[in-house]
Structure 1
């Protein structure tokens, strides 16, 4: 359903859930893109708009810088300061621009694995989100000794809805056959992601969650072919095609997948299993890059509704 209000067009999609109390959260990502002079101002006014709406929490799905700006300590510090501008809690999951692509000349020729370590050290505190008023979260690094480095994978329950971030990024999830170190990193993180997705479904079942929300950066269908959604060379085959989607079908209740990467705001149901649509899995792609907006997601009256938020003027 599409509604027009005060010159703005909003798209709403109802997905049946059973929340204990109505609430809203904000999803955003692929922001800010560009230099500090051009990008920081609009991004900060967007954060002000989010603060004005006072959601239960916000989720930033990664790429807090563009793919052509430096991966410097200064940039990291600036973006951490931006997260602390959120009056409420904000959960962040990394994107490829923050680490996998940092070896590029226009990114400053940084070591991607060193940048990943820096992200984990600077942006994640076990047990807590970011934001001026952080909220409690569960980290995979604490939950499982076998995956002690994956502090960025977090989970929390709010009003009967289970939320989880998963470190799945663009650039084919860092699966690069020509780079042994990158491939090793991918396979280790992929195993952690699969375990985290499985554990999240188990927890949702145990806690009788009414819906599940997964947030990550990558557009996992970027490698889709006319024959397969997740071909053998896709860095998303195991975590998505062989894990999340089959578990979502088995679970049966609503699953919302939130991601960015492609920068085009969209709400749809593109996922299939054995070539059959998964009617209980909905996708939200947040806007980003030059489109400096966020998405307010409201869980109310047994439905998810979606509203675009623009920066304050």
Structure 2
């Protein structure tokens, strides 16, 4: 069994905590299920059942509920919504690029990406103040909290649990939809990037004011991409312009918070734990979840009054016969 106890980045004093803060677990996963429904839906249902049997406080899906080469039609998106609502007791979700950004691909059906994004917002987030799952939890949505400027962004949500603040921000792969040759895509990116930065900043300010024990931020995009380009260098790794603004604000706010921060993301399908900003934000740890063929999940143990705060244990999918 794998297990990561995070001593370097999060083995740090969590600060003053409420006596009500109790240890708990949640589950993180993403980039699944990929493939033809008749081949991957059943194994994904097995994974959901395995997750539910662990009785987490909630589950976080970091996006890419389908592959980039499967149809983006209503039936597929509706099926994925059904999966989100089968997690017990609750699930939160931030969209990935395969659900909308990459839907223009012929194999995905040649859809208008912005129309697909609108469909997700209209059907997945009918009530943005309520999570997914069999027993939903209450969320704060940017569309409500910042309705004067960002009423569109129903998918950006946050909540607190046992003194830990959780933030979901809509940051996706495919360079965060910043496509210089597509004016509509670029305009969408700049508007959403502004919303994400405002949401991130306000949410960290809220965590600081509340003296939160830690912050957990969930996005879809792999902003680091170890497997592409030159060798990865700490503090200088962002090779795609669609992430620079968001990452800059993230490091600034995480440093100001000065307590453990866990960044959860997917996109590249490689389970790993590392320190993304060892100089700019030394108390931040990054967790990339499993994905694609490795249809597994990660259980995160949170002990708010313990200096280590976070620990990770993979949840292997029994339907994959130990593979992955």
Q: TM-score range by the shorter chain?
A: over 0.9
8 Å CA contact 2:3–2:311 kept in 1: the answer is no
1:307 aligns to what?
Answer: 313
Q: Matches of 2:6 and 2:259 in 1, distance apart?
A: 16
Which of 11, 22, 26 is the matching residue for 2:4?
Answer: 11
Give deviations 1:22-51, integer Å, cap 9, x for gaps: 000000000000011111111110100111
Number of residue-to-residue matches in the alignment: 301
1:229 matched to 2:230: no
2:134 aligns to what?
Answer: 132
Q: Matches of 1:120 and 1:265 in 2, distance apart?
A: 29
1:256 aligns to what?
Answer: 262
8 Å CA contact 1:33–1:39 kept in 2: the answer is yes
8 Å CA contact 1:270–1:277 kept in 2: the answer is no
1:115-264 equivalent positions in 2, closer than 5 A: 115-124=116-125, 125-145=127-147, 146-222=149-225, 228-230=236-238, 234-240=241-247, 242-264=248-270
For 1:213, what is the secondary structure of its paired residue? strand
Q: Matches of 1:90 and 1:251 in 2, distance apart?
A: 26
8 Å CA contact 1:260–1:288 kept in 2: the answer is yes
For 1:199, what is the secondary structure of its paired residue? helix
8 Å CA contact 1:224–1:230 kept in 2: the answer is no
8 Å CA contact 2:252–2:281 kept in 1: the answer is no
Q: How far off is 1:80 after superposition?
A: 0.9
8 Å CA contact 2:251–2:280 kept in 1: the answer is no
Q: Matches of 1:277 and 1:38 in 2, distance apart?
A: 44
1:66 aligns to what?
Answer: 67
1:66-105 equivalent positions in 2, closer than 5 A: 66-105=67-106
8 Å CA contact 1:48–1:312 kept in 2: the answer is no
Structure 1 pair 52/263, CA: closer, same or farther in 2 (3 Å)?
same
Q: How far off is 1:201 after superposition?
A: 0.8
Unaligned runs of 5+ residues in structure 1 are 1-7
1:265 matched to 2:266: no
Q: Normalising by structure 1, what TM-score?
A: 0.92
Q: How far off is 1:295 after superposition?
A: 0.4
Moved more, 222-231 or 69-78: 222-231
1:4 aligns to what?
Answer: none
For 1:185, what is the secondary structure of its paired residue? helix
Considering fraction of residues, name the structure with more strand. 1
Give deviations 1:190-212, integer Å, cap 9, x for gaps: 00000000001110011110100
Q: How far off is 1:249 after superposition?
A: 1.2
Give deviations 1:185-241, integer Å, cap 9, x for gaps: 00000000000000011100111101001001000123876683235x51000011x
